[in-house]
Amino acid sequence: MKHSFVRIAGAVGALTLSAAATGCSGSDSGSDSTAGSGKASITFWGWAPGYADAVAAFNKSHPDIKVTYQAVQPGAKGGYQKMLNAVQSGNAPCLAQVGYETLPSFAAQGALQDVSEHADADKQDYQEAAWKSVSLGEQVYGAPVDTGPMALFYNKKVFDSLGLKPPTTWAEYEAAAKKIHASDPKRYISSPYMDYDYAGLAWQAGAQWFGTEGDAWKVSMASAGNKKVADYWQKLADDGLISGAPMYDQAWYTGLGNGDIATVVGAVWQAGVIKGGVKSGSGQWAVAPMPQWSAGENKVGNAGGSATAVLKGCEDGKAAWEFAHWMSTDRDAFGTLVEKASLYPAAKSLLDLPQLKADPYFGGQNIFDVFADASPNVGTEWTWGPLMTKTTADLNDGLGKAWTGKGTIAEALNTAQSQTEAEMKKQGLQVAP
């Protein structure tokens, strides 16, 4: 993140929750206390498979800290609102699973607690982009858990049958798209990208969506850089080279399985999605580095990732950080998270975990070597905005129309920018022109 988030703190101050500074009440619903027992006690809300195992292992090896794990609905399905409600009522847990894209929204609402005094010493343990995703200026609001470096998943069987090699540039990708479609009118290079999957494409190109100017937010979704990315994908769509099957729809899985959709430009966790939903594709798929805008570059986008965030009102930030950092860096605990949740570590030292090994589904390729090489090259300038739920809803509305020929991707970005700016002003945020 290029700009200081100390300024952002001023820009978002108008959204601070009225009860954000309220101390924990001590109720069983989520608040934490160390009083009376001499033993730190903290609560952690999340939903990822494997988190309960990590908590059990931590409690066994750390007798002076007791962590209680409570499973909640995934963030977008109610978990985030439950967390914000708990902060407002003064009985929030110390820790919560929060996606990087949502963390600025929590900061804007005064729902996070700075633990930099405990966390700063561990900064070097994490990938730079991941650390910046939990840091706002000098403040640190949690421990990075996983990341979503992107690469090119491609149907090697289809590519080999046409004498194609994985494209190293977007120009080569377009050429491959034409050859694939010419071989069979039912075949396409890809399917439409939406919300955070599309954001990763912009991220790689350095086409930022948000930043700051002084104490104001700057929204740049309609920038020249974003138009370049939009126009590229628009041309592929206009030329009939993009499938109409929406990502994660059954038609998408079918297309991946029968070779009608030949690539997915996606994050590391897409490996689990493809394996789980396209069993018939076993042995046919492989992974290559993300195509570049200019030959010889090595720039990578990111899609996904989350933090163990410290919520406002936590009475023991030191204990909260100790657990959060441990879960993100302990080899055994994170190995379980890889196995159960397909998480990809944000900690530098875990990129060689034995669970990140060659996979028969991908023809015996160790696809994680590709992502290990990609991780350090994820751009660090990207900034998420304070109202991402609203922003992505508006963007998806426009993208859904654009991919079907009812408008353009560039128009979708322009509209999302104007609607985001209007909502930010409505909520009292300063917006730079």
Under 8 Å between Cβ of 264 and 290: no
Cα 90 to Cα 214: distance, rounded to the nearest angstrom: 32
DSSP type of residue 389 = H
Same domain, 314 and 414: no
Q: In this structure, how many other beta carbons lie within 10 angstroms of the beta carbon of residue 184?
A: 12
- The verdict on residue 12 lying in a domain is yes
Residues belonging to the chain? 433
Give the count of domains, the chain: 2
Q: Two tokens at 251?
A: 């038609």
Under 8 Å between Cβ of 173 and 189: yes
Average pLDDT, integer, range 106-132: 97
CATH number at residue 345: 3.40.190.10
Same domain, 40 and 104: yes
Q: What are phi and psi of 399, to 5 degrees?
A: -65, -40
Question: Where among 356, 373, 396 does a domain terminate?
Answer: 356
Same domain, 200 and 132: no
Q: Which pLDDT score, from 0 to 100, does residue 173 have?
A: 98
- The verdict on residue 112 lying in a domain is yes
* Pairing status of strand 135-136 against strand 65-71: unpaired
Average pLDDT, integer, range 223-243: 98
- The verdict on residue 28 lying in a domain is yes
Q: Which pLDDT score, from 0 to 100, does residue 260 have?
A: 98
Question: Where among 338, 356, 374 does a domain terminate?
Answer: 356
Q: Which pLDDT score, from 0 to 100, does residue 39 have?
A: 87
What average pLDDT is seen over the chain?
92
Q: Two tokens at 214?
A: 């002084």
Same domain, 296 and 309: no
Cα 55 to Cα 59: distance, rounded to the nearest angstrom: 6
Confidence of residue 314 (pLDDT cuts 50, 70, 90): very high
Same domain, 234 and 340: no
Q: Is the pLDDT of residue 350 over 50?
A: yes
Average pLDDT, integer, range 52-77: 97
Average pLDDT, integer, range 286-293: 98
- In sign, the C-alpha dihedral spanning 116, 79, 103, 312 is negative
Helix 409-426 and helix 388-402, axial crossing angle in degrees, nearest 10? 160
Give the three-state DSSP class for 275. Answer: helix
Average pLDDT, integer, range 375-388: 95
Cα 379 to Cα 299: distance, rounded to the nearest angstrom: 7
- The verdict on residue 369 lying in a domain is no
Same domain, 14 and 87: yes
- The verdict on residue 285 lying in a domain is yes
Same domain, 420 and 277: yes
Q: Is the pLDDT of residue 392 over 60?
A: yes
Same domain, 67 and 167: no
Under 8 Å between Cβ of 190 and 261: yes
Which helix (H) or strand (E) is 147 found in, with range? strand 142-155
Structural domain including 107 reads 5-147+305-356
Model confidence pLDDT, tens digit, residues 151-185: 999 999 999 999 999 999 999 999 999 999 999 99
DSSP type of residue 289 = P
Same domain, 262 and 347: no
Q: Which residue has the higher pLDDT, 304 or 20?
A: 304
- The verdict on residue 98 lying in a domain is yes
- The verdict on residue 366 lying in a domain is no
Same domain, 260 and 392: yes
Model confidence pLDDT, tens digit, residues 1-46: 333 333 333 434 433 333 333 333 333 345 565 544 568 999 999 9
- The verdict on residue 431 lying in a domain is no
Same domain, 280 and 327: no
Q: Which pLDDT score, from 0 to 100, does residue 20 have?
A: 32
pTM passes above 0.85? yes
Same domain, 189 and 263: yes
